[in-house]
Structure 1
Amino acid sequence: MKEISGKVLLMTAASKTITGESRVALPLESGGILLGYREDQHIVITDALVIKSVAATTRRYVRDDVAANVQLRTFLESRSPDDPVGYIGEWHSHPGPSQPSRTDIQAIRSTAQAAIGPVALMVCSALGEPQFCAVIATRRRFGRISAQEAEVDIIEPPQQSSLGGLPVGAVRGDGPVFISYRQSDGTSRSSSLEGLLRAAGLVVWRDRSDLRPGTTTDRLEQALTTGLSAGVLVVTPDIAASTIVKDRELPRLIQLDQDARFSLCIANEVPRADDSKKPDYAAPDRLLGLAPASTLGDKKQSNSRTVSGRLEIVRDLLMHRIEQRKEEISTSGRALTVHTQTRTEPFALDAGEADLHVRIKPPKRGKLPSRQGLVDLKSTLPLTSDAIRAAGSSTVRIAGGMHLSVAFAIGAALPETKIGHVEVVDLRGQIWTSKADGEAAGHTIATVEMSGEFKTDRAAAKVAVFVTLTENADETAFGRLLVDQSGFFKSAARISVDPVDQIDSREAASISRQIAMEIKRLSSMFGRAEIHLAFHGPYSIAVLIGRYLNTVRTVVYEWDNPENGAPRYTPVMTLDSGVTGGPITKVHL
């Protein structure tokens, strides 16, 4: 026989029938008919019929064909016309442990010759702990019959939910996204999806961060019934063994998905046996005990083993959230609100009035942002930008807190060519606006070229720029950058405000435009040189400057003060809004 390919999935009811009859018949052999359905290369056995044999011996079972046909007809007549369960093969017992005999193999090959699809032979060793062996026989081209050993998995049948109906308020448009998964083999993928969803602006409920002390089932029930907007079911091979997913989370998610305001996404981690690059779309129903119904098979599934598949889930849930809020935004004429944070751990409690909540993984130590958080942001920022545009609001209002490099990136994702007006609310509640109306006058921009050892070769020119908008700016770290990178830059310049005193938030539009124009001018002096930007000022201005740098390739730096070393500027990311996949094109950490 050939190597194992398909599996025989034996439901417990059929298993008990076969085992029970095999033991009753000892020391004689017994047998009967297998009923079920085919699922790709697998055979699912839902029922087993016992066919008595007066000719059975300790070494042989002879089926009574007349009795078999009567019982099979009676069984099929009791089923609905659209029930996929039908004849799927034969079973018999061996008194002791043994493999299917040559006679057994020849018999199932003969049966397959007349069948329209694969058929199974199941042999039960009834003495002691029951053991099952199986063979799948299939008619191939030109009448050739293949017979292959098949692994036997005993599975539980679908369970009816006894959880009752959903309470009022179980679905909430601004609620978190619930991630359901099996910890043994689904933790890594769930963490990856969590990072992407949070970076895109969605609030996530995840057991490792949001499951409070108390009885697990009670806390899960609370999470599943008190205001979710969406769910992601991560389907992995081991999910079949998760009673919490099968008996608690899945029934609730299916109930929630009956509400049009809820969106259920399926992250399929199970590859097809015949093509590992594609997901097994039948696996969710099979592994979670829903087959033969196609409860999950009829829903959209994403191949979450690929980056594009994971981002497909992010995009779908982003657009779902925008769809739920677009009418209210349009009717009220209000700004679309985005709340940001890059320094603290995210929780489901973050869900609030903001339309989007952009969160990335916080750094484990030090002042620099998390590399993985930036990688997540790099992947999702184009999707978030598209979702914001789709909302149709003329104004985007940003609040919260973030690293300066992230502020520039978010600004670059909301360029003036796509988004009409951006407001940034600082920690004191003041609004820094991109509108020039009613701004206070008083500050101008001064640019000073800095001395140092610079390159003379004009190819791939790079210009270092230090922007400082505060009094008593410490230029030591920027000076150290120029020394450490001697010969790397074509030129260097310092941009500051005059006079050097506190900037009024109403000057934001004027100052951000002037600084952006100076940066563009410095780049154009050396043939659209790449700008290496160190910024010392409020993040609100960084967001607004970022909006105007869409024609300049910019490497953004962060100030760092490591324990074993002097303060320095470290390159964090490259921004280039004018290319596919921008605005973040590279993470340097």
Structure 2
Amino acid sequence: MTRDPARIELRPEASQTISAESAKNLPTEAGGILLGYHESATIVVTHALTVSSALASTNRYVRDDVKANAILKEFLKDRAKDDLVGYVGEWHSHPASVGPSLIDINALRAIAKTSQGPVAMIVRATSDTAPFHGVIARRQRFGRIGSSQVQVISPEHRFQPLGPLPETSVRGDGPVFISYRQSDGTHQAARLEHLLRATGLVVWRDYRDLRAGTTTDRLEQALTQGLSAAVLVVTPDIVHSEIVRERELPRLLQLDNNPAFSLSIANAVSRPGSSSACDYDAPDRLLRLSPARILADKKQSNMLDGTGELEIARDLLMHRVEQRKPTLRATNRAFTIRIQSRPTPYAIDADDEDLHIRLSAGDQGRLPSHEGLRLFQKTLPLISDAVYAARASHVGILGGAHLSIALALGTALPETKFGRVEATDTANVAWSSGASPDDPVDNIISIEDINLSTRQAEDTRERVAVFVTLTPAADRTAFDRLLNSSDQAFSKAVIVTSTTSRIDAREAGRLSSSIAQQIKELAASNGRAEVHLAFHGPYPMAVLIGRLLNTLRTVVYEWEDHAEEGPRYHPTLILDPGRAGGPIAEVLLGPDHSKND
């Protein structure tokens, strides 16, 4: 004698489909058909297929029978003939915490009249405690239809319950965690990662920073061992991400209860009928927090209109500065910025600096990355504002980067707005913008005029070329090639040199001021000409000279020893410190460097 089914067992794939589709379609109902097999007193549901309905509303789901039959036929066509999996019932959702209605039960009984065996119904309710409700109906003797509500056995949770956060889980100088769904959020997460690194923030991201070991264990360590902030990237497919929903988000919400932590929400889900307006209810809906407005009541940045990424970078940057202010005031120390444009960054390589700017490395050769320069163009005004907001006694620059980037960083820290700046070289020697009381005065600046062709002298009075060389026996070949190969003519060209073979760091303040003054006078005497600057010298001097060129429009060049043609200078950036959008007016070095040859 066959026992009537007394329960429904929901397998993980079916459970995930029903839950995800229910969440995606809120506040309207969703539904479809169940597939599985009968096993003793249990209906085992292995798959759930979604059947969209044009008649779905907030309190109604009407299955499209034609569509359902087509979907079922497509599912079954490639399965083995002896496969036990077949149609076992229906499912739909309720956008409230209620189980099957009388209408639902009557509809299931009607289906049972024409079925050979028992049929199941699962209702997915919006509830944390009892999300699944089950009903089984079957035809009995004399054509009677019986139905009963039964237990739905859900899959076991993948993760153990969360424990309390350790006291060290939030750290003001810790990295920024990026949470996202890989299937459709990887591109957005990568863009945010590179932008935040270019802003000076250290970023933790799974593909780069998750060390060997059990993924969930390593992830738990990352979430509890000293983050400063996080970005939750919300994309349509995040509805399918169990690890974000069950592990990352709960921890991030715990961390966000600490005022020293900052949680940003990057919303990339469009509102129906719009390609640029985001759906601010989507994060709660897709992460199954609805009807609660846990994320809807937090600030969300619209990632669809082009401003959301920069908004997040600005917010997290200012948050970091606010966390650093007490230490800055208590110790009267410098606001420190470490910058690099060559090595690959990792979350664990952060030092004690206030900002840690890392720009993407170039694909090949000595030239900087085009993408890194474009990001630096966006973030440099934010960095300048953040340093100013810190109200530090002075600014310290460490690390090392391409000289064009050093010049640009200097223009973002002009002498008119900031006090003393110190740039530390690779030997840990500080080069200060201020006059040194023990300046040995071993060097003075000399100017050498370069004879230009008649064609060049007559073509224009608006461009001057300057080669600043502060290292012994500098090769002039690249600069001569720049003068002779330029599409536009120069009205004046000079070489600025120091008089001895080596500059003492104590001379930095005087020499940088002298060099900048010579360049300003040259531009002024040629009708406020655009300056084309090729710099060859210590990295700290590029920073100090750049901050004094605050009244000039300057095209800065980067040197490269070309494999076939020898050394040459590439136009890299146009610096215009007076513009509202930041000191980098244009990035000239394209993805294909040959375009600017």
Aligned to 1:252, what secondary structure does the other structure show? Answer: helix
Give, as a single letter, the amino acid of the residue that structure 2 aligns with 1:407. A
Counterpart mapping for 1:144-155 below 5 A:
none
Give, as a single letter, the amino acid of the residue that structure 2 aligns with 1:568. R
What does residue 447 of structure 1 align with? Answer: 447
Q: Is the 8 A contact 2:230 2:264 kept in 1?
A: yes
What does residue 50 of structure 2 align with? Answer: none
Q: Comparing 231-240 with 435-444, which one deviates more in the overlay?
A: 435-444
What does residue 216 of structure 1 align with? Answer: 215
What does residue 26 of structure 1 align with? Answer: none
Normalising to structure 2: TM-score of the pair? 0.75
What does residue 380 of structure 1 align with? Answer: 379
What does residue 549 of structure 2 align with? Answer: 549
Compute the displacement of 1:352 (Å): 2.1
**Structure 1: 5+ residue runs without aligned partners?**
1-5, 24-33, 62-78, 84-91, 96-125, 127-154
Q: Is the 8 A contact 2:463 2:529 kept in 1?
A: yes
What does residue 270 of structure 1 align with? Answer: 269
Distance change in 2, residues 1:247/1:37 (3 Å) = farther
Aligned to 1:49, what secondary structure does the other structure show? Answer: coil
What does residue 518 of structure 2 align with? Answer: 518
Q: Is the 8 A contact 2:403 2:539 kept in 1?
A: yes
What does residue 166 of structure 2 align with? Answer: 167
User: Counterparts of 2:207 and 2:107 in 1: how far apart (Å)?
Assistant: 61
Aligned to 2:532, what secondary structure does the other structure show? Answer: strand
Q: Comparing 164-173 with 562-571, which one deviates more in the overlay?
A: 562-571
Compute the displacement of 1:533 (Å): 0.6
Give, as a single letter, the amino acid of the residue that structure 2 aligns with 1:393. A
What does residue 509 of structure 1 align with? Answer: 509
User: Counterparts of 1:403 and 1:449 in 2: how far apart (Å)?
Assistant: 27
Q: Cα deviations across residues 455-505 of structure 1 (Å, max 9, x unaligned)?
A: 34575711111000111110011111111126522221100011x211110
**Which of 74, 80, 98 pairs up with 1:47?**
98
Q: Is the 8 A contact 2:27 2:58 kept in 1?
A: no
Distance change in 2, residues 1:426/1:37 (3 Å) = farther
Q: Is the 8 A contact 1:363 1:370 kept in 2?
A: yes
User: Counterparts of 1:395 and 1:171 in 2: how far apart (Å)?
Assistant: 28
Distance change in 2, residues 1:282/1:295 (3 Å) = same
Distance change in 2, residues 1:306/1:10 (3 Å) = closer
Counterpart mapping for 1:274-289 below 5 A:
274-289=273-288
Compute the displacement of 1:247 (Å): 1.3
Counterpart mapping for 1:266-345 below 5 A:
266-345=265-344
User: Counterparts of 2:419 and 2:443 in 1: how far apart (Å)?
Assistant: 24
Q: Is the 8 A contact 1:171 1:227 kept in 2?
A: yes
User: Counterparts of 1:238 and 1:14 in 2: how far apart (Å)?
Assistant: 20
User: Counterparts of 2:211 and 2:293 in 1: how far apart (Å)?
Assistant: 34
What does residue 539 of structure 1 align with? Answer: 539
What does residue 559 of structure 2 align with? Answer: 559
User: Counterparts of 2:338 and 2:196 in 1: how far apart (Å)?
Assistant: 14
What does residue 576 of structure 1 align with? Answer: 576
What does residue 150 of structure 2 align with? Answer: none
Give, as a single letter, the amino acid of the residue that structure 2 aligns with 1:361. S
Normalising to structure 1: TM-score of the pair? 0.76
Q: Is the 8 A contact 1:35 1:48 kept in 2?
A: no
What does residue 367 of structure 2 align with? Answer: 368
Q: Comparing 443-452 with 46-55, which one deviates more in the overlay?
A: 46-55
What does residue 492 of structure 2 align with? Answer: 491
User: Counterparts of 1:274 and 1:48 in 2: how far apart (Å)?
Assistant: 32
Compute the displacement of 1:45 (Å): 5.2
Give, as a single letter, the amino acid of the residue that structure 1 aligns with 2:472. E
Give, as a single letter, the amino acid of the residue that structure 1 aligns with 2:99. A
Give, as a single letter, the amino acid of the residue that structure 1 aligns with 2:289. L
Give, as a single letter, the amino acid of the residue that structure 2 aligns with 1:342. S
Distance change in 2, residues 1:58/1:216 (3 Å) = closer
Counterpart mapping for 1:183-202 below 5 A:
183-202=182-201
Aligned to 1:270, what secondary structure does the other structure show? Answer: coil
User: Counterparts of 2:195 and 2:108 in 1: how far apart (Å)?
Assistant: 62
Distance change in 2, residues 1:240/1:289 (3 Å) = same
Compute the displacement of 1:12 (Å): 10
Aligned to 1:567, what secondary structure does the other structure show? Answer: strand
Give, as a single letter, the amino acid of the residue that structure 2 aligns with 1:482. L
Aligned to 1:346, what secondary structure does the other structure show? Answer: coil
Compute the displacement of 1:339 (Å): 0.8
Q: Is the 8 A contact 1:37 1:45 kept in 2?
A: no
Compute the displacement of 1:226 (Å): 0.7
User: Counterparts of 1:349 and 1:277 in 2: how far apart (Å)?
Assistant: 36
User: Counterparts of 1:368 and 1:172 in 2: how far apart (Å)?
Assistant: 36
What does residue 406 of structure 1 align with? Answer: 405
User: Counterparts of 1:504 and 1:55 in 2: how far apart (Å)?
Assistant: 89
**Structure 2: 5+ residue runs without aligned partners?**
1-23, 44-55, 61-92, 114-125, 128-134, 139-146, 148-153, 590-597
Aligned to 1:48, what secondary structure does the other structure show? Answer: coil
Q: Cα deviations across residues 211-257 of structure 1 (Å, max 9, x unaligned)?
A: 11222111111111111000000000011111111111111111111
What does residue 476 of structure 1 align with? Answer: 477
Give, as a single letter, the amino acid of the residue that structure 2 aligns with 1:505. A
What does residue 177 of structure 1 align with? Answer: 176
Compute the displacement of 1:379 (Å): 0.1
Give, as a single letter, the amino acid of the residue that structure 2 aligns with 1:417. T
Aligned to 2:266, what secondary structure does the other structure show? Answer: strand
- Counting aligned pairs with the same residue, the percent is 50
Give, as a single letter, the amino acid of the residue that structure 1 aligns with 2:331. S
User: Counterparts of 1:467 and 1:537 in 2: how far apart (Å)?
Assistant: 8
Compute the displacement of 1:171 (Å): 0.4
What does residue 76 of structure 1 align with? Answer: none
User: Counterparts of 2:524 and 2:537 in 1: how far apart (Å)?
Assistant: 24
Distance change in 2, residues 1:527/1:246 (3 Å) = same
User: Counterparts of 1:342 and 1:56 in 2: how far apart (Å)?
Assistant: 65
Give, as a single letter, the amino acid of the residue that structure 2 aligns with 1:44. P
Compute the displacement of 1:575 (Å): 0.5
User: Counterparts of 2:278 and 2:311 in 1: how far apart (Å)?
Assistant: 14
User: Counterparts of 2:322 and 2:361 in 1: how far apart (Å)?
Assistant: 29
User: Counterparts of 1:59 and 1:506 in 2: how far apart (Å)?
Assistant: 90
What does residue 346 of structure 2 align with? Answer: 347
Distance change in 2, residues 1:515/1:292 (3 Å) = same
User: Counterparts of 1:502 and 1:567 in 2: how far apart (Å)?
Assistant: 23
Compute the displacement of 1:422 (Å): 0.2
Q: Is the 8 A contact 2:381 2:412 kept in 1?
A: yes
User: Counterparts of 1:383 and 1:161 in 2: how far apart (Å)?
Assistant: 41
User: Counterparts of 2:384 and 2:235 in 1: how far apart (Å)?
Assistant: 31
User: Counterparts of 2:269 and 2:562 in 1: how far apart (Å)?
Assistant: 44
Q: Comparing 349-358 with 42-51, which one deviates more in the overlay?
A: 42-51
What does residue 245 of structure 2 align with? Answer: 246
User: Counterparts of 2:307 and 2:107 in 1: how far apart (Å)?
Assistant: 60
Distance change in 2, residues 1:45/1:460 (3 Å) = farther
In the alignment, does 2:421 pair up with 1:390?
A: no
